[in-house]
Amino acid sequence: MKITHISAECYPVAKVGGLADVLGALPKYQNNLGEQASVIMPFYDLAFIAKNKFKKIDEGKLKLADKEYKFNVLQLLNLELGFELNLIDIPELLFKSYVYSSDDTKRFMAFQIAALHWLGKQTQLPDVIHCHDHHTGLIPFMMQYCDEFVAFKNIPSVISIHNAQYQGWFSYEQIDLIPAFNEEHSGLLDWYGNINPLACAIKCAWRVNTVSPSYMEELKTAANGLEGLLSHEADKCIGILNGIDTQVWNAATDPYLKMNYTVSRNLSGKRANKKWICDTYDLDVDKPLFVFIGRLVYEKGSDLFPEAFKQVLNHQEVSILLLGSGDPETEQELLDLKDKFKGKYNAYIGYNEELSHVIYAGADFLLMPSRVEPCGLNQMYSLRYGTIPVVRSIGGLKDTIVDVEDGGFGFTHSDTTVEQMVSSIKRAATFFKDQKKFKKIRRQIMSIDHSWNRSASVYIQLYNSITNR
């Protein structure tokens, strides 16, 4: 089966969040199962692009409103990703040092149009076009109703919702960005008086999936305005839990780690990574180390960290290390804590892929107090590295983490509040004191399989259900 994934992100080329990790792994695992999966994404001006070689395989023109743009299609020469990677190069719009901006309507509209133009030239069209998030949300509509893409009318499309909070709304004043179509279909674009790419994708795609079963259910009551639509389209919706790339996230072989280790031998390597972290960031290696890795945004509950950390550090013998960036006010508050809790707390504002791997390996506990977490990958990474998650039980976190008091292997709380976050940290710190139980759980979680193998198979079953295979 020929599967084409279309996305704004793909690890390791361009990563803002978990979307990139999915696109960097799912096609590879689908190919491992004997399918023919590839990825189309924009050609950005990013570090990976500068370090690698590409060949031009096609060129073309597209019209966006009253302006014409030239585009090239480039293909990555390095085949180590495990799938074919094709990139749409529109220098004026896409070749930027960032992925997202305030001009994304025009940028990603052009990207979607160019991707379909190029695919339409192929001698063999895809069996399935798999779109990801609102940046590609108008593709299912254009495949069905735009005059210049009539060749795609009978090609099945799938939309994966990685985060329904972001929908790509734009006003009808920009409707001429969309290629010509019969106006009788304009209602498919509309959601409460705006053009809503994600809503349109839910209406037009043959199948809709979210990245965990619990998130699919949660969206029926909390989807930033799309609740009724998702309930109406429930028959074509499914939740499929993301996996992780266990070749990349492997404590035994990870090149970023200070010392590799496995669950069966040399678990002391985890201690070595913790020691490096504590030496580097002035923390006590003998205290339980709690960490956060991610975006400092409301959805992640990071606005509560300053107060929660104060309460914990004033009363508990623990260490806390944070790696992330986002809201400037939150960043500053977290930086201000460094002097007050010297030797107990530290923060790295920004993102560092290598450091993140070492932190997963060296930490004792991972904090994820998310208000919204469609799937979450960080908790799966932490399990893989023997780091116990402390999470709010929501979305994919609910599907993957069971509290120790319920016979599980993590610490959960029901709501994102300072009080509940602090309480869970206290429970975890107390649990740490019983090293026999703690080490038993550590070994247990390292054996949990969250690889993409199963999830990739479920996606193929989904495709088969709409391609008569």
Q: What is the pLDDT of residue 469?
A: 58
Three-state DSSP string of 96-110: CCCCCCCCHHHHHHH
> What is the rounded CA–CA span in Å between residue 115 and residue 63?
13
Identify residue 255 by its one-letter amino acid code.
Answer: P
DSSP output for 248-308 = TS-TTT-TTSSS---SSS-THHHHHHHHHHHHHTT--TTS-EEEEEEEESGGGTGGGHHHH
Q: How many CA atoms lie within 13 A of 401 on its CB side?
A: 34
Equal CATH topology for 2-243+453-467 and 268-448: yes
Q: CB of 463 within 8 A of CB of 129?
A: no
Domain 2-243+453-467 superfamily per CATH: Glycogen Phosphorylase B; (3.40.50.2000)
Number of helices and strands in the chain (H, E): 16, 17
Closest by CA to 134, choosing from 163, 97, 155, is: 163
pTM above 0.85, yes or no: yes
Q: Counting every residue, how long is the chain?
A: 469
Q: How many CB atoms lie within 10 A of CB 329?
A: 11
Q: How many CB atoms lie within 10 A of CB 4?
A: 23
User: What's the angle, vertex CA 413, arms to CA 215 and CA 165, rounded to 5?
Assistant: 30
Q: What is the pLDDT of residue 79?
A: 77
Helix (H, G, I), strand (E, B) or coil at 191: strand
> What is the rounded CA–CA span in Å between residue 111 and residue 86?
12
Model confidence pLDDT, tens digit, residues 262-303: 988 768 899 999 999 999 999 999 999 999 999 999 999 999
Buried b (16+ CB within 10 A) or exposed e, 169-200: bbeeeeeebbbebeeeeeebbebeeebbbbbb
Burial of 153 from C-beta contacts in 10 A (0-12 / 13-18 / 19+):
exposed
Tokens read off for 14: 């361009």
> What is the rounded CA–CA span in Å between residue 388 and residue 386?
6
Radius of gyration of the chain (CA): 23
Q: How many CA atoms lie within 13 A of 166 on its CB side?
A: 17
Distance in angstroms between the alpha carbons of the first and the last residue of the chain: 9
Residues of the chain predicted below pLDDT 70: 266, 469
Topology classification of domain 268-448: Rossmann fold (3.40.50)
Q: How far is CA 67 from the centre of its chain?
A: 33
Q: In the chain, what are the domain boundaries? A: 2-243+453-467, 268-448
> What is the rounded CA–CA span in Å between residue 448 and residue 394?
20
Q: CB of 128 within 8 A of CB of 463?
A: yes
Mean pLDDT of the chain: 96
Q: What is the pLDDT of residue 265?
A: 72
> What is the rounded CA–CA span in Å between residue 155 and residue 405?
49
Tokens 């179509």 label which residue? 181
> What is the rounded CA–CA span in Å between residue 360 and residue 308?
21
